[in-house]
Chains A and B, each alone.
Chain A
Amino acid sequence: MALDVQFKTGLLWQDTQHKEWIKLLDKLKGAKKKKQDHQLFASTISFLVMYANHHIGIENEYMKRYEYPERNFHMEEHRLFILRLKDFREKYRNFSDEATLKIIESMTEWVYSHILENDQKLGEFIIKKEQPHRLAVK
């Protein structure tokens, strides 16, 4: 996925965490092609759970603190993400081809619908709040 340029807001913590998402997705796709994706199943699930907890937690904290105008919408998307992850874990307790396909599909969808859209807006908003002159010189 050649998202390197597009998804960078310049907000280091957010970019770093998004990069990890993309990296894992690429790795998983590569492994799937070689039919080695079963090795990655457990660690991918742990990553997603961690991400839900951690990354989403940080974004929510910023939105609350800086009173982000679109926070209701954005936090609702986060809530649905967590809910979908929970359903997924109940349905697919163990590795299967279908499970990996489903993860790849959902993770890719999340990149386009959330990371490249709402998260970019949020990132720019945070920079504007914290470092108002930085966007101008970007």
Chain B
Amino acid sequence: MSARLTSDARAALGSAGFSRRSFLRGSGAMVVAFAAARSTGLESLVSAQGINGRSATALDAWIAITADSRVLAYTGKCELGQGLYTAQVQLVAEELDVPLSRVALTMCDTAATPDQGTTSGAQSHPANFNQANLALACATARQALVGLAAQRLNLPAANLATGDGAVFVKGEPSRRVAYGDLVGGRKFMLDLDATAKRKNAADWKVLGTPVPRLDLPAMVTAQLEYVHTVRVPGMLHGRVVRPPSVGATLAGVDEASVRGMPGLVRVVVRKNFVGVVAEKPFQAVQIAEKLKVSWTPGPAIPAQAEYYDHLRKDRASRDTFLLDSGDVDQSLRGARTVVSATYLHPFHMHGSVGSSCAVADVQPGKATLWSATQAVYPMRDTAAQLLGLQPADVRVLFTRGSGCYGINGADTVTYDAALLSQAVGRPVRVQLTRRDEMAWENFGNAFVIDQRAGLDAAGTIVAWDYEAWSPALGGRPGYDSPGNVVTGWLAGFAPAASTPRAPAPAPNTPLNNNLNTAPSYVTGCVGGVCRGTGTVRSERVLSHRTVSPFFTGPLRAPERFQNTFAHESFMDEIAAAAKADPVEFRLRHVRDERLRAVVRTAAGAAKWDARPSPRAGRPAAGVARGRGISCVLYEGDNGYVAIVAEVEVDQASGTITVTRLTGAQDCGPISNPDGVKNQFEGGALHGMSRALFEEVSWSDQRVTSVDWRGYHTFAVGVRTPAVEAVLVNQPSAPANGAGETAITVVAAAIGNAVFDATGARLREIPFTPARVKAALSSRGTA
């Protein structure tokens, strides 16, 4: 097979015995015919999540059976390092009763897989492991195979069972027909059947077990293909030259400055986009460094030191009431005690360990893109816009990248490679510099969050008021906005527009707490429909969205990390004002049983010391120890989590050492317990890094955190806390996401533990030693 395929695709196609393209082409007419003939309601079933793209209703788009009874499966949800390749192979093996080794899964190739939009938002497990999409395709295929065998054997389907790639007669396992003999190499020509029966979780043998990552042996022996290792014949090497500062526009390029340099193929300019193409990668580096480019500075941006004040004062905002019971000011006036606090969160970056890379081969009327984008189909459409092609002319092959959890430079560098390849008519590989990765990625949003809460005489919360300001610019390009990332913008496309709106209209749709903007403790009532998890009826949630000076986008637990830090730290402040134990106080104000269960389970596993915070008898100097808790129902409906953090605070230096993170997580049925644990551990430590160290910095319109000396995290050589996860399995509940739950609650759990240890409240991320010391010295005066 061609070296242009991903290794996963090669594994799937190499042994398939037929061309996937012709296979799909042949079934295309059938898809249309079935769609016209039968209205199954599948459209709503598969498109409930906008994030999940257009999907596919034809079984043949998802599953094929080879003549030798292997199963070829096709998914639009990709492996980003989270273990989804293995989990999806488990799903297929389980539902179709074949060994893992007889499943070949192709991920995210616009020429082969269903359009499942973007692999993001903790939506892969919900999308493909419930009664829809891949899981439903497997169930439909199994049902069809049993039906075919019933005809072949002239027996009722009820008398048949499946196992080891065959249908057999119950009680007579030697009377069997292999899948390959029933349909091998041919199409099913069926629609997904919304009523096809999946296996009961109680009967699972493969799914739900800790199958080791199938890709790990290739990964640790350096045999796994990443987009960074893709090499195609005739490939050249590109390098981009980004503007020096935010908003700068191109004034001129002096091509004579690099004329005659070894390996130079071309200097490429398109509006404000500048790049060079050379024969070898180091030549491209040298040429890009030498190229004289002049820029006109963009409009001034606020200084970092004044940025939070600026955010609050920016009047060009789009204002939204998520909740407003209309009586919050009155409730607060009548409260015995009012607690108020402001929480601050900086811009964060994905900071992938590998700077982003892509390979593009753009020929007249045709383009092939090897990309680590999390959104192959949207990328196909927006790259077509950028290149002046039709989407059908563009093929995007997802090829693994460096761990991302959002939108690092993968999308923008794909555009870079595409533009450069189009200019020279040959395949071009581009890898960003560390600086270009870090200065121009789509950062996670900064936030200013004001909260007020009222307590009655019994120490019960009677009102909760939330008002937040956060900036945004661009984001995922989606299907039509290449200007949402820097390269598209440089090439002349505008970011998706933001429309100011003030005052905010009254809320008129039932609560959708997708961004965890509403705290867990309010009832979340709109028009009599109450979708919150808590008990506080007097509630107001008002958000102001302003325009960001930097590109922003979804970063692991996007906005939910920021909001949950504020809510869960503030809940701790209220509990302290009520002199209540933080766990007991939470349980008193949460009515959702599954959220209550993870709080109790995490507290139990951590051997929670029930008492109010801060700890009585804590030392005023030296090392102080404490514990804190935090919880959330992620995205309002996508997984429950609670974490207890234990910390030591060196009060002389202001250094926080997290000694233990103990959590409980309920994400519905567990598809792979070790995979979920790996995500929990990684998410917990990622959250710790963001809470303690991470902050984008800038000066004079230039991002200054452009390498690992300017953007802080912690190395593998830094001793990490023990991380323990209790996984709560819910076999009969819907499958939820599991990759972004743990990270969401970590910052507040750590901040609450610091308060317990010292009585000092941390309200600004990251919790640097300087901020810890400032909080320590203002103890008792707040």
* A, B: real partners: no
